[in-house]
Structure 1
Amino acid sequence: MKQLKLTGFVFFLFFVTESLTLPAKPQDVDYFTSTQKYIEENVEYITIIAFAQYVQEATFEEMEMLTKDMKEYRDRCLADRTLPECAKLVNNVLQERFCAMEGLPQKYNFSHCCSKADFERRLCFFFNKKADVEFLPPFPTWDPEEKCQAYKNNRESFLNHYMYEVARRYPFVFATTLLTVATRFEEVAKPCCEEQYRVDCFQTRVAPVTQYLKTWSSYSKNVCGAYFKFGPKVLNSINVATLSQSLPKMNFKDLTSLVEVVSSIYDGCCEGDVVQCIRDMNKFMSHLCSKPVSNSSKIKECCEKKPLERDECIMNTSKEDRTKDLSLREAKFTDSKNVCQERDTDPDNFFTEFTYEYSRRHSDLSIPQLLRITNVYKDLLQNCCKTENPPDCYRHAEDKFNETTEKSLKMVQQECKRFRNLGKDGLKYHYLMSLTKIAPQLSTEELMFLAKRMVMALTTCCTQSGEFACVDNLVDSALGELCGVNLNRTINPAVDRCCRTNFAFRTPCFKDLKTDKTYVPPPTSQDLFTFHTDLCQAQNEELQRKKDRFLVNLVKRKPGLTDEKLLTLFTNVTLVVEKCCKAEGPEACFNEEGPKIDN
């Protein structure tokens, strides 16, 4: 893949922005020039990502037509940059080209978007993205021999097709992540196609690439969902907490400057502006590496490397240790007599500094918990500053913070206890039932995916020393996926309230949800307990998926049953399947035993 070595570097889960104009500082020129050159050379791959994410139903052949058109546009602008069309944003040009393709807007129901212009059209394209991709065929699973032959015959077409298939199934993943996935996939394909045991090679080496993709898919949906539902202030708070934890030595002024750069990314990356998203990253590198000493000794080491090595190094950098002279509390927010006056002078800056000071002192807490504490502090001051003696009121703030943390910690401990008691499979069945009861409107596949995410969070974190932050961060991320990105996504009143009321308290809100009372289940018919011999042919993972699918559909049909009763029915189904698959006539056995299960 041409020049596909621009690593999708992410710094502690955040990207940053790049101006579309030439940079003013000499040290930024190399960043801008190299990025611009990369974009021009890789317009084909950039078009694939943007088009496949916007118009997920489009065929590979239709995408190739648009790609050819965009390459011609690039060539014209390289020959004469003064042409009027060359002054437009690339994302706008791409959408215009799609809208001009005969019959395609009508075919894929984009006519209403194509009737709009600029910002309104960009948002229209974005809000047409579908997170639930059940409407697409299963991801192509090629035999390794076929895969390697296709790669050798036409490497570029093979990789284009791979990127197209991935992008349309992960419509909210940032372009930079997909470019990294494509790079890593080729790094797998090339050596594996030379191996004697290709199947084992692909299975082993593709797994971490797939995990990387799923992790960043979850992140992008979570953070963009927060951006669209709660606005830039909440994202700024997330960024402040994250960067303060990661870089506790950075002073407040430098941190707020970096947060400004970080927070401005989301207009481009969240809306799917591939070019802007790629450009945005280089400004971050320039900004971050301009003050490596004040940031982190680890960052300084990365910044001294060559550009591509530097990017990968920063992406993999761990948190900087808290300095020994940094106490666990900042007295100015609880002991000063002038807290209310300072708050009233500049509330946004005051609470931003509080989040910064508290986060850099508590690397053991999750990002949602840090935001909860800031919320608690805001509410406390709102009450205290109305009293006759505010200092006497807010000097107990630390007790409130500890009380909030203790409440969240107990929730995590309960979940980890459930994991230890039920085991991985039992925990999965618990979440399949509980998630289906609170959000039965979701598709079966999405509920299975969310249950898997919750189980992954607990199995990953409950054996770690920092289980609290780990569990809380990952569970909140999974709930962010449930809430979705689009503003027009509605599930049911209770879930919608948790998704939209307060980002920091989203997890506790979901914890209190019970069975959705507004849901009207489909009529329970006997077909629920009608089974066929295909169950006997299913092996291992596919058999387990069929069982999980059955449990979700069982809860959708009978949401009023207790978990114990649901599990009893589920166990009975498992026993019938085992019995009938051993019988001489499985179909006859299923016809006889199936109807007895619910009697």
Structure 2
Amino acid sequence: MRDEVCGEFKSLGKDKFRTGAIIASSRKYSNATFEEILNVVSEIVSIAEKCCPEGADPECYEKESLALSNRSCSDPSPFPKHSGIAGCCLAEGLERKLCLATLKHPVKEIPVYQERFNDQACMAFENDSQGFRDRHLYEYSRDYSSAPVPVVAASAMTYLNMMRACCHNGAGGYCFTMRRLFRKPLTTLTQISNKACFHYNLLGKEKIKLSYIIKFARKSSKATFEDVLALAIDASEMVSRSCNDTSNSTFETGISIAEPKTPLHLTRNSGPNLWQLSEHTTKICDTLSTKDKIFHDCCNAINKLSAYLCIYSLPWMRTPPKLPDFQKPSDEDLCSENGTLALEHYLFEVARRHTYAPEAVFTSIYESSENIVSSCCSDINTTACFALKRPKAREQIFDLLEKGTEMCSQFIHLRATGFKEKLREDYRKRLPEAPEEVISGLVEQRSSLASSCCPVNAPPVYCGLKIETEVSRTCSHGICFQH
């Protein structure tokens, strides 16, 4: 740990090292206050200054870090609070230090921080540029704590560079407009990678692959399962490598691309995370651009990053293709060593026929199908088990798909106001005796669910929780979501 800290301190210098410490600490302790983060950073920088120069006492780092862990266990402590601290503080010496080092706060799926581009922001920046800088790094990093470090660092620093350029020269609005356009691909990439890494850390590599199977199946009408599976595997590999990248160069990479001379291009010099995205984009374009015009149009973008952002933002197929009935996986297929592949193929076929249903519905279908397969394949009479459970499960699955499709189709085509009016009419017919406040409450709940889950690239984890809540609420009024 000493070698890692001192290596970064020497290569980056004190200012950039401090910047990196703010970003890393804010990501790790995303629920901490600004003051708590600055206290941690001050300690980290102080230890590096004292223990990293040539000729420093070889025992310096161990002694100082031990003292820091002891202060973390003091009451009151000036450092971030965590439910696991009490347990760590029962240990002593190295065991305590290692325990404290592993602590981190839970991350958020949906960022809420809004960057400011106005006279008030400029006034705050000019009055205290260091304080403004530190707080922005803190707010931005804790909100995007799942995104790869170089992406977060670059995006945060380009905002600060923009403030420095636009607030000091009096250019104001025009300067902000041009700079925001310039950095938009990077900010969008931060949002995308934050979401992808959040899901990867929560769901794991296999469930992320499933998510990409669903996405590609619903965006391309002509992609085969083999096409989609290969791209989903490549996407899950890319996410795995990028989100697990903890190399010492990641922060320095972020600083180096924070102020590009031209709009951001994905090259080997952009760092490992961004280069992997470039390679993945190339594979998407090689596979799908000759089969589907919308992918062809995206792949003609000015650079690979723009092409990927275009592909990412493609809507679901508004009119699902008229496809023939497909072969359902047999009991033998599901219980074979390729049972997972058979289930993924089944989900692919279902997803391309129900392009409006929220992704969380498909995830729920997959998980319930997995449970049935696991139960029946280990049953003494596998055939009888499937014969009992599959028909009921299939009925529930397609009922849920139809209702999810109906909800999102109406939400997208009727827009928000028309959608609410349609909901009110439907609930009034179903509950003619219900008071107006009950009807209004149901309308708002279903409208909130639709606005959360129906847009393309909606957050599936948050959406899944919303669906569970909706089922509970509407069932309490006698109208279950699936009915």
TM superposition score normalised by structure 1: 0.46
Whether 1:193 and 2:170 are equivalent positions in the alignment is: no
Q: 1:511 aligned to 455, 459, 470, which one? A: 470
Q: Which residue of the partner structure matches residue 5 of structure 1?
A: none
> 2:332 maps to which residue?
341
1:125 maps to which residue? 104
Q: CA deviation at 1:174?
A: 5.0
Taking a change above 3 Å as real, the CA distance of residues 404 and 301 of structure 1, as seen in their structure-2 partners, is closer
Distance 1:368 1:216, change over 3 A: farther
Question: Are the counterparts in 1 of residues 153 and 251 from structure 2 also a CA contact under 8 Å?
Answer: no
C-alpha deviation, 1:49, in angstroms: 0.8
Partner of 1:47: 21
Q: String of CA shifts for 1:469-512, please: whole Å, max 9, x gaps.
A: 418x64756x36xxxxxxxxxxxxxxxxxxxxxx5xx4432113
CA distance in 2, matches of 1:236, 1:507: 23
Q: Does 1:404 align with 2:400?
A: yes
CA contact (8 A) 2:358 2:408 kept: no
How do 1:386-405 and structure 2 match up within 5 A?
386-387=382-383, 402-405=398-401
Shift of 1:150: 5.4
Aligned to 2:78: 107
Percent identical: 12
How do 1:450-529 residues align onto structure 2 when only pairs under 5 Å count?
A: 458=451, 469-470=454-455, 474=458, 476=460, 479=462, 506-514=465-473
| DSSP 3-state at the match of 1:513 | helix
**1:264 maps to which of 235, 240, 252:** 240
Structure 2 counterpart of 1:240, from 207, 213, 221: 213
| Distance in structure 2 (CA, Å) of the matches to 1:181 and 1:373 | 37
State the AA in 2 paired with 1:240: I
Task: Pick closer, same or farther for the CA change 1:121–1:184 going to 2, 3 Å.
Answer: same
* Partner amino acid, structure 2, of 1:470: P
Q: CA deviation at 1:332?
A: 5.7
Correspondences of 1:415-426 after superposition (within 5 Å): 419-420=416-417
User: Taking structure 1 as reference, are residues 284 and 507 closer, same or farther at Cα in structure 2, changes over 3 Å only?
Assistant: same
**1:255 corresponds to:** 231
Distance 1:415 1:246, change over 3 A: closer
Per-residue displacement from partner, 1:302-343 (whole Å, max 9, x unpaired)?
99999xx533542343467999xx966586642x7xx22121
Deviation sequence 1:198-241 (CA, Å, 0-9, x none): 4897699879999997996798479637844x555433422432
Distance 1:457 1:400 in 2: 20
Rate the CA distance shift 1:146–1:316 in 2: closer, same or farther, 3 A: same
> Higher relative CO (CA 8 A, sep ≥ 6), structure 1 or 2?
1
In the alignment, is the contact (CA less than 8 A) between 1:60 and 1:164 conserved in 2? no
CA RMSD across the alignment:
6.5
How many angstroms apart in 2 are the aligned matches of 1:350 and 1:70? 54
Distance 1:284 1:144, change over 3 A: closer
Gap change, CA 1:377 and 1:423, over 3 Å in 2:
closer
Structure 2 partner of 1:355: 347
Aligned residues of 1:262 and 1:284 also touching (Cα < 8 A) = yes
- Once the two structures are superposed, the pairs formed by residues 22-171 of structure 1 within 5 Å of their partners are 43-55=17-29, 56-57=32-33, 58=36, 60=38, 62-67=40-45, 100=68, 103-104=71-72, 106-108=77-79, 109=81, 112=86, 113=88, 116=95, 121=100, 123-127=102-106, 143-147=120-124, 149=126, 159-168=133-142, 171=145
Match of 1:317 in 2: 311
Q: 1:150 to 1:413 in 2, by over 3 A?
A: same
Unaligned runs of 5+ in 1: 1-35, 77-83, 86-92, 428-432, 439-450, 462-467, 481-502, 518-599
Report Cα offsets for 1:9-51 as digits up to 9, x if no partner.
xxxxxxxxxxxxxxxxxxxxxxxxxxx9xx9686543322111
**Matched AA of 1:178:** V
Asked if 1:224 is matched to 2:198, the reply is yes
Write the letter of the residue equivalent to 1:146.
M
Aligned match of 1:591: none
- Residue type of the partner of 2:25? F
Q: Secondary structure at the match of 1:470?
A: coil
Whether the 8 Å CA contact 1:369–1:408 is kept in 2: the answer is yes
Quote the offset at 1:163 in angstroms: 1.0
Contact 2:357–2:408 (Cα < 8 Å) also in 1: no
Work out whether residues 39 and 78 of structure 2, in 8 Å CA contact, stay in contact via their aligned partners in 1.
no
Residue equivalent to 1:570: none
Number of aligned residue pairs = 398
Amino acid of the structure 2 residue aligned with 1:345 = S
- For 2:286 and 2:400, locate their aligned partners in 1 and report how far apart those are by CA, in whole Å: 32
| 1:261-300 alignment, distance < 5 Å | 261-262=237-238, 264-265=240-241, 268=244, 281-282=273-274, 284-285=276-277, 287-288=279-280, 291=283, 294-297=286-289
Find the aligned partners of 1:166 and 1:280 in 2 and give their Cα distance: 22
Distance in 2, Cα, partners of 1:143 & 1:319: 33
Specify the code of the residue in structure 2 equivalent to 1:354.
Y
Q: 1:232 to 1:168 in 2, by over 3 A?
A: closer
Asked if structure 1 preserves the Cα contact closer than 8 Å seen for 2:185 and 2:306, the reply is no
Q: How does 1:526-537 map to 2 (within 5 A)?
A: none
Query: 2:69, 2:371 → 1: CA distance?
Result: 54
Aligned CA distance change for structure 1 residues 182 and 294 (closer, same or farther; 3 Å): same
Note the C-alpha offset of 1:162.
2.4
CA spacing shift, 1:203–1:215, aligned 2, 3 Å? same
Deviates further, 216-225 or 391-400: 391-400
The CA distance in 2 between the partners of 1:348 and 1:303, in whole Å, is 31
SS of the counterpart of 2:472? coil
Deviation at 1:368, TM superposition (A): 1.7
Give 1:17's aligned residue.
Answer: none
Distance 1:75 1:295 in 2: 53
SS in structure 2 opposite 1:103? helix
SS of the residue 1:107 aligns to? coil
Distance in 1, Cα, partners of 2:336 & 2:365: 21
1:434-464 superposed Cα distances (whole Å, 9 cap, x missing partner): 9xx99xxxxxxxxxxxx99x86973xx9xxx
Q: Distance in 1 between matches of 2:284 and 2:173?
A: 44
Please tell me the residue identity of whatever aligns with 1:512. V
Alignment-derived partner of residue 557 in structure 1: none
Q: Does the CA-based 8 Å contact 1:133-1:169 persist in structure 2?
A: yes
Residue in structure 1 matched with residue 3 of structure 2 by the alignment: none
